Protein backbone atom coordinates (compact mmCIF):
# COMPACT_ATOMS: atom_id res chain seq x y z
CA UNK A 1 0.00 0.00 0.00
CA UNK A 2 1.06 3.61 -0.55
CA UNK A 3 2.03 5.83 2.40
CA UNK A 4 -1.02 8.01 2.05
CA UNK A 5 -3.24 4.97 2.43
CA UNK A 6 -1.67 4.41 5.84
CA UNK A 7 -2.38 8.06 6.63
CA UNK A 8 -6.03 7.50 5.78
CA UNK A 9 -6.27 4.32 7.83
CA UNK A 10 -4.59 5.95 10.82
CA UNK A 11 -6.81 9.01 10.56
CA UNK A 12 -10.03 7.00 10.48
CA UNK A 13 -8.89 4.83 13.39
CA UNK A 14 -7.88 7.85 15.47
CA UNK A 15 -11.20 9.52 14.66
CA UNK A 16 -13.19 6.52 15.83
CA UNK A 17 -11.04 6.17 18.90
CA UNK A 18 -11.46 9.86 19.76
CA UNK A 19 -15.22 9.60 19.46
CA UNK A 20 -15.31 6.47 21.60
CA UNK A 21 -13.13 8.11 24.27
CA UNK A 22 -15.42 11.14 24.32
CA UNK A 23 -18.56 9.02 24.55
CA UNK A 24 -17.07 6.98 27.40
CA UNK A 25 -15.99 10.13 29.23
CA UNK A 26 -19.47 11.62 29.20
CA UNK A 27 -21.34 8.35 29.61
CA UNK A 28 -19.35 7.37 32.69
CA UNK A 29 -19.48 10.78 34.36
CA UNK A 30 -21.05 10.37 37.80
CA UNK A 31 -24.75 10.66 38.45
CA UNK A 32 -25.35 14.34 39.06
CA UNK A 33 -28.08 16.35 40.69
CA UNK A 34 -31.16 16.81 38.54
CA UNK A 35 -30.85 19.89 36.36
CA UNK A 36 -33.51 19.55 33.73
CA UNK A 37 -34.89 22.42 31.73
CA UNK A 38 -38.38 22.62 30.34
CA UNK A 39 -39.92 22.00 27.86
CA UNK A 40 -39.00 18.32 27.99
CA UNK A 41 -40.34 16.72 24.79
CA UNK A 42 -41.14 13.28 26.19
CA UNK A 43 -43.67 14.73 28.66
CA UNK A 44 -46.80 13.35 27.07
CA UNK A 45 -49.52 15.95 26.54
CA UNK A 46 -47.49 18.60 28.32
CA UNK A 47 -44.39 19.20 26.27
CA UNK A 48 -46.08 21.81 24.05
CA UNK A 49 -46.34 24.27 26.91
CA UNK A 50 -43.39 22.93 28.90
CA UNK A 51 -45.26 21.07 31.61
CA UNK A 52 -44.05 18.11 33.65
CA UNK A 53 -45.35 15.29 35.82
CA UNK A 54 -44.77 17.57 38.81
CA UNK A 55 -48.04 19.26 37.83
CA UNK A 56 -50.04 16.24 38.95
CA UNK A 57 -51.55 15.68 42.36
CA UNK A 58 -49.72 12.74 44.01
CA UNK A 59 -47.58 12.38 40.88
CA UNK A 60 -45.57 9.48 42.36
CA UNK A 61 -48.66 7.28 42.50
CA UNK A 62 -49.43 7.64 38.80
CA UNK A 63 -47.87 5.92 35.81
CA UNK A 64 -45.55 8.14 33.80
CA UNK A 65 -46.38 8.37 30.14
CA UNK A 66 -43.35 9.14 28.04
CA UNK A 67 -43.94 10.33 24.52
CA UNK A 68 -40.86 8.93 22.82
CA UNK A 69 -42.26 9.72 19.37
CA UNK A 70 -42.37 13.40 20.25
CA UNK A 71 -38.85 13.20 21.65
CA UNK A 72 -37.61 11.59 18.42
CA UNK A 73 -39.45 14.25 16.42
CA UNK A 74 -37.81 16.97 18.48
CA UNK A 75 -34.40 15.35 18.07
CA UNK A 76 -34.89 14.98 14.32
CA UNK A 77 -35.87 18.62 13.86
CA UNK A 78 -32.93 19.66 16.03
CA UNK A 79 -30.43 17.47 14.19
CA UNK A 80 -31.66 18.01 10.64
CA UNK A 81 -32.98 21.58 10.70
CA UNK A 82 -31.14 22.99 13.75
CA UNK A 83 -34.50 24.10 15.15
CA UNK A 84 -33.00 25.79 18.20
CA UNK A 85 -30.69 27.96 16.10
CA UNK A 86 -33.51 28.75 13.68
CA UNK A 87 -35.76 30.00 16.50
CA UNK A 88 -33.17 31.83 18.53
CA UNK A 89 -30.45 33.00 16.16
CA UNK A 90 -31.57 33.31 12.54
CA UNK A 91 -28.40 35.16 11.51
CA UNK A 92 -26.30 32.16 12.39
CA UNK A 93 -28.82 29.64 11.06
CA UNK A 94 -28.46 31.02 7.49
CA UNK A 95 -24.98 29.52 7.38
CA UNK A 96 -25.07 26.96 10.13
CA UNK A 97 -27.91 25.04 8.49
CA UNK A 98 -26.25 24.57 5.06
CA UNK A 99 -22.97 23.82 6.83
CA UNK A 100 -24.43 21.05 8.99
CA UNK A 101 -26.73 19.69 6.32
CA UNK A 102 -23.78 19.64 3.93
CA UNK A 103 -21.74 17.73 6.50
CA UNK A 104 -24.52 15.13 6.86
CA UNK A 105 -24.49 14.70 3.09
CA UNK A 106 -20.70 14.39 3.14
CA UNK A 107 -20.91 11.69 5.80
CA UNK A 108 -23.43 9.89 3.60
CA UNK A 109 -21.07 10.37 0.66
CA UNK A 110 -18.18 8.81 2.58
CA UNK A 111 -20.34 5.82 3.49
CA UNK A 112 -21.42 5.49 -0.14
CA UNK A 113 -17.76 5.59 -1.18
CA UNK A 114 -17.09 2.87 1.36
CA UNK A 115 -20.01 0.83 0.04
CA UNK A 116 -18.82 1.44 -3.52
CA UNK A 117 -15.30 0.47 -2.48
CA UNK A 118 -16.55 -2.81 -1.04
CA UNK A 119 -18.54 -3.45 -4.23
CA UNK A 120 -15.44 -2.65 -6.30
CA UNK A 121 -13.31 -4.94 -4.14
CA UNK A 122 -15.72 -7.86 -4.62
CA UNK A 123 -16.06 -7.16 -8.34
CA UNK A 124 -19.50 -5.51 -8.46
CA UNK A 125 -19.29 -2.50 -10.72
CA UNK A 126 -20.36 0.97 -9.64
CA UNK A 127 -20.92 3.39 -12.52
CA UNK A 128 -23.56 4.94 -14.73
CA UNK A 129 -23.34 1.84 -16.95
CA UNK A 130 -23.51 -0.74 -14.19
CA UNK A 131 -26.50 -2.76 -13.02
CA UNK A 132 -29.34 -1.17 -11.06
CA UNK A 133 -27.63 -1.35 -7.68
CA UNK A 134 -24.31 -0.08 -9.00
CA UNK A 135 -26.09 2.68 -10.88
CA UNK A 136 -28.05 3.78 -7.81
CA UNK A 137 -24.89 3.81 -5.67
CA UNK A 138 -23.05 5.74 -8.37
CA UNK A 139 -25.66 8.50 -8.68
CA UNK A 140 -26.27 8.74 -4.95
CA UNK A 141 -22.51 9.12 -4.46
CA UNK A 142 -22.34 11.86 -7.09
CA UNK A 143 -25.37 13.75 -5.76
CA UNK A 144 -24.47 13.52 -2.07
CA UNK A 145 -20.83 14.29 -2.80
CA UNK A 146 -21.30 17.47 -4.77
CA UNK A 147 -24.32 18.70 -2.81
CA UNK A 148 -22.55 17.97 0.46
CA UNK A 149 -19.30 19.61 -0.54
CA UNK A 150 -20.99 22.72 -1.95
CA UNK A 151 -23.34 23.21 1.02
CA UNK A 152 -20.56 22.59 3.52
CA UNK A 153 -18.27 24.99 1.68
CA UNK A 154 -20.88 27.76 1.49
CA UNK A 155 -21.85 27.26 5.13
CA UNK A 156 -18.28 27.23 6.39
CA UNK A 157 -17.44 30.33 4.39
CA UNK A 158 -20.57 32.12 5.65
CA UNK A 159 -19.76 31.21 9.24
CA UNK A 160 -16.20 32.40 8.75
CA UNK A 161 -17.39 35.75 7.38
CA UNK A 162 -19.87 36.06 10.25
CA UNK A 163 -17.19 35.34 12.84
CA UNK A 164 -14.85 37.88 11.24
CA UNK A 165 -17.35 40.67 10.67
CA UNK A 166 -19.70 40.48 13.66
CA UNK A 167 -18.27 42.78 16.28
CA UNK A 168 -20.24 41.05 19.05
CA UNK A 169 -18.80 37.75 18.03
CA UNK A 170 -15.20 38.59 17.24
CA UNK A 171 -13.81 38.92 20.79
CA UNK A 172 -14.90 35.37 21.61
CA UNK A 173 -13.36 33.64 18.61
CA UNK A 174 -10.10 31.86 19.04
CA UNK A 175 -7.65 31.06 16.29
CA UNK A 176 -9.09 27.52 16.34
CA UNK A 177 -12.55 28.80 15.37
CA UNK A 178 -11.17 30.46 12.23
CA UNK A 179 -8.78 27.60 11.49
CA UNK A 180 -11.52 24.96 11.68
CA UNK A 181 -13.70 26.73 9.16
CA UNK A 182 -10.84 27.56 6.82
CA UNK A 183 -9.53 24.01 7.00
CA UNK A 184 -12.92 22.68 6.00
CA UNK A 185 -13.23 25.20 3.19
CA UNK A 186 -9.74 24.35 1.91
CA UNK A 187 -10.60 20.64 1.77
CA UNK A 188 -13.93 21.35 0.09
CA UNK A 189 -12.42 23.62 -2.56
CA UNK A 190 -9.61 21.20 -3.25
CA UNK A 191 -12.02 18.28 -3.53
CA UNK A 192 -14.28 20.18 -5.91
CA UNK A 193 -11.37 21.26 -8.14
CA UNK A 194 -9.87 17.76 -8.18
CA UNK A 195 -13.04 15.91 -8.95
CA UNK A 196 -14.70 18.36 -11.31
CA UNK A 197 -11.39 18.41 -13.23
CA UNK A 198 -10.35 14.79 -13.37
CA UNK A 199 -12.68 12.49 -11.42
CA UNK A 200 -16.28 13.75 -11.80
CA UNK A 201 -17.90 10.43 -10.81
CA UNK A 202 -15.55 9.85 -7.84
CA UNK A 203 -14.35 6.64 -9.49
CA UNK A 204 -10.71 7.15 -8.44
CA UNK A 205 -11.77 7.99 -4.91
CA UNK A 206 -13.89 4.83 -4.79
CA UNK A 207 -10.96 2.92 -6.19
CA UNK A 208 -8.78 4.40 -3.45
CA UNK A 209 -11.19 3.11 -0.82
CA UNK A 210 -11.38 -0.30 -2.53
CA UNK A 211 -7.58 -0.49 -2.56
CA UNK A 212 -7.44 0.15 1.18
CA UNK A 213 -10.09 -2.49 1.81
CA UNK A 214 -8.13 -5.06 -0.19
CA UNK A 215 -4.73 -3.89 1.11
CA UNK A 216 -3.58 -3.15 -2.45
CA UNK A 217 -1.61 -0.09 -3.61
CA UNK A 218 -4.04 2.63 -4.73
CA UNK A 219 -3.94 4.44 -8.04
CA UNK A 220 -3.17 8.11 -7.37
CA UNK A 221 -4.08 9.91 -10.57
CA UNK A 222 -2.28 13.16 -9.76
CA UNK A 223 -0.66 15.31 -7.10
CA UNK A 224 -3.83 17.26 -6.47
CA UNK A 225 -5.72 14.03 -5.80
CA UNK A 226 -3.00 12.93 -3.39
CA UNK A 227 -3.13 16.22 -1.48
CA UNK A 228 -6.92 16.06 -1.35
CA UNK A 229 -6.90 12.56 0.08
CA UNK A 230 -4.30 13.43 2.70
CA UNK A 231 -6.11 16.60 3.78
CA UNK A 232 -9.47 14.89 3.85
CA UNK A 233 -8.01 12.10 5.99
CA UNK A 234 -6.50 14.64 8.37
CA UNK A 235 -9.84 16.48 8.57
CA UNK A 236 -11.62 13.24 9.44
CA UNK A 237 -9.11 12.76 12.23
CA UNK A 238 -9.17 16.38 13.36
CA UNK A 239 -12.93 16.79 13.76
CA UNK A 240 -13.35 14.42 16.73
CA UNK A 241 -10.24 15.89 18.35
CA UNK A 242 -11.58 19.45 18.14
CA UNK A 243 -14.68 21.20 19.44
CA UNK A 244 -16.32 20.36 16.11
CA UNK A 245 -17.20 17.03 17.66
CA UNK A 246 -19.87 18.78 19.72
CA UNK A 247 -22.44 16.37 18.30
CA UNK A 248 -21.29 13.84 20.93
CA UNK A 249 -21.68 16.32 23.77
CA UNK A 250 -24.99 17.61 22.48
CA UNK A 251 -26.52 14.15 22.89
CA UNK A 252 -25.48 14.09 26.54
CA UNK A 253 -26.37 17.70 27.21
CA UNK A 254 -29.90 16.98 26.06
CA UNK A 255 -30.48 13.43 27.25
CA UNK A 256 -28.41 13.31 30.41
CA UNK A 257 -29.07 16.84 31.63
CA UNK A 258 -31.73 18.94 29.96
CA UNK A 259 -34.32 16.21 29.43
CA UNK A 260 -33.23 13.91 32.25
CA UNK A 261 -36.26 13.94 34.52
CA UNK A 262 -36.19 10.33 35.71
CA UNK A 263 -37.33 10.39 39.34
CA UNK A 264 -35.33 8.56 41.94
CA UNK A 265 -37.38 5.94 43.76
CA UNK A 266 -36.48 3.85 46.78
CA UNK A 267 -34.22 0.95 45.88
CA UNK A 268 -33.52 2.25 42.38
CA UNK A 269 -30.20 2.13 40.51
CA UNK A 270 -30.03 5.91 40.77
CA UNK A 271 -30.27 5.64 44.54
CA UNK A 272 -27.54 3.01 44.62
CA UNK A 273 -25.20 5.17 42.55
CA UNK A 274 -25.89 8.22 44.72
CA UNK A 275 -25.32 6.30 47.92
CA UNK A 276 -21.90 5.27 46.62
CA UNK A 277 -21.06 8.85 45.67
CA UNK A 278 -21.90 10.05 49.17
CA UNK A 279 -18.91 7.99 50.29
CA UNK A 280 -16.45 10.16 48.30
CA UNK A 281 -14.05 12.15 50.45
CA UNK A 282 -14.13 15.93 50.31
CA UNK A 283 -11.02 18.05 50.05
CA UNK A 284 -12.67 21.47 49.73
CA UNK A 285 -10.91 23.81 52.13
CA UNK A 286 -13.60 26.08 53.53
CA UNK A 287 -14.37 25.40 57.18
CA UNK A 288 -18.02 24.53 56.66
CA UNK A 289 -17.01 21.82 54.15
CA UNK A 290 -15.39 19.62 56.80
CA UNK A 291 -12.46 18.57 54.58
CA UNK A 292 -11.35 14.98 55.05
CA UNK A 293 -14.85 13.72 55.70
CA UNK A 294 -17.05 12.03 53.14
CA UNK A 295 -19.98 13.89 51.61
CA UNK A 296 -22.35 11.74 53.62
CA UNK A 297 -20.58 12.64 56.86
CA UNK A 298 -19.96 16.31 56.07
CA UNK A 299 -23.57 17.17 55.35
CA UNK A 300 -24.67 15.59 58.61
CA UNK A 301 -22.20 17.65 60.67
CA UNK A 302 -23.71 20.10 63.10
CA UNK A 303 -23.27 23.66 61.91
CA UNK A 304 -21.15 26.03 63.95
CA UNK A 305 -22.21 29.63 64.20
CA UNK A 306 -19.78 31.70 62.16
Partner 1 sequence: MSNKNIKVKDLGKKTDRVYNLDVKELPKLPYPYEDWEDPEVPPVKDIKAEGKDLSLDGILNVVVPIPESEEKKEELVAKFLEGVRKLLTVENNWTFLKPFMLSMENCVKCNTCSEACPVYEMSGGAEIYRPLFRSDVLRRIIKKYISPGGKLTAPFTGSNIDLNWETVARLAQLAYRCNLCRRCAQTCPMGVDNGLIAREIRKLFSQEMGIAPAELHTDGTIKQLTTGSSTGVSPVALMDLFEFMEEDITDRTGLNIKVPFDKSGADILLIHNAGEFLSWPENIEAFAIIFELAGVSWTLSSEMVGYDSVNYGLFYDDAQYAKVTLKHAEVAKKLGVKKVVMGECGHAHKAVMAIGDRIWLGESNIPRESCLATLEDLVMNEKIMVDPERNDFPITLHDPCNVVRSMGVVEPQRRILRKIAPKFREMTPHGVHNYCCGGGSGFAIMQSNNFPNWRFLLPGRKKFIQILNAFEKEEYEPGVNKYVCAPCSNCKGQIRDLLEYYDAWEKAGLLYGGLVELIVNCMTDVREGFVEWEFH
- Which positions from 254 through 273 interact with partner 1, judged by CB under 8 A? 254, 256-258, 261, 263-266, 270-271
Determine, following the binding rule CB under 8 A, whether residue 81 of this chain makes contact with partner 1.
Answer: no
Determine, following the binding rule CB under 8 A, whether residue 75 of this chain makes contact with partner 1.
Answer: no
- Please name the residue ranges forming H helices in 89-174: 90-121, 132-165
Query: Candidates 4-12, 65-73, 132-140, 243-251 — which segment interacts with partner 1 by CB under 8 A?
Result: 243-251
Vertex 275, ends 270 and 278: CA angle to 5°? 125
Determine, following the binding rule CB under 8 A, whether residue 10 of this chain makes contact with partner 1.
Answer: no
Which of 29, 107, 164, 182 is in the footprint of partner 1 by CB under 8 A?
Answer: 29
Determine, following the binding rule CB under 8 A, whether residue 65 of this chain makes contact with partner 1.
Answer: no
What is the rounded CA–CA span in Å between residue 212 and residue 77? 36
Determine, following the binding rule CB under 8 A, whether residue 282 of this chain makes contact with partner 1.
Answer: yes
Shortest distance (Å) from residue 79 CB to partner 1: 11
> Is 148 in contact with 109 (CB distance < 8 Å)?
yes
Vertex 106, ends 102 and 112: CA angle to 5°? 145
Which of 30, 63, 123, 217 is in the footprint of partner 1 by CB under 8 A?
Answer: 30
| Nearer to partner 1 among residue 204 and residue 259 (C-beta) | 259
Q: Please count the other Cβ atoms lying within 10 Å of the Cβ belonging to residue 172.
A: 9
What is the rounded CA–CA span in Å between residue 277 and residue 304? 25
Query: Candidates 114-122, 171-179, 192-200, 213-221 — which segment interacts with partner 1 by CB under 8 A?
Result: 171-179
| Nearer to partner 1 among residue 84 and residue 222 (C-beta) | 84
> Is 149 in contact with 188 (CB distance < 8 Å)?
yes
Residues 31-60 vs partner 1: string with x where CB under 8 A?
A: xxxxxxxxxx--x--x--xxxxxxxxxxxx
Region for residue 50 given its phi and psi (left: phi exceeds 0; alpha: psi -120 to 50; beta: otherwise): left
Q: Tell me whether the omega of the peptide bond preceding residue 209 falls within 30 degrees of 0, making it cis.
A: no
Which of 4, 85, 119, 236 is in the footprint of partner 1 by CB under 8 A?
Answer: 85
> Is 156 in contact with 179 (CB distance < 8 Å)?
no
Determine, following the binding rule CB under 8 A, whether residue 62 of this chain makes contact with partner 1.
Answer: no
| Nearer to partner 1 among residue 66 and residue 214 (C-beta) | 66
Amino acid sequence: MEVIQYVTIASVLIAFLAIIVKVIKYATAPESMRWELYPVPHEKGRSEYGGSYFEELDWWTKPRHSDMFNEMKEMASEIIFLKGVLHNNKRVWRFSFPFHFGLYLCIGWLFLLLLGGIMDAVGVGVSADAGVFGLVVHYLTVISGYAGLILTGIGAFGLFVWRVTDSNQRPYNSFAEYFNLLFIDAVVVLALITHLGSDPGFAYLRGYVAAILSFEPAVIPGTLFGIEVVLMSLLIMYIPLSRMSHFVAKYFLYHAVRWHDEPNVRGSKIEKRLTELLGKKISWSAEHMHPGKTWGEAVQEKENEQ
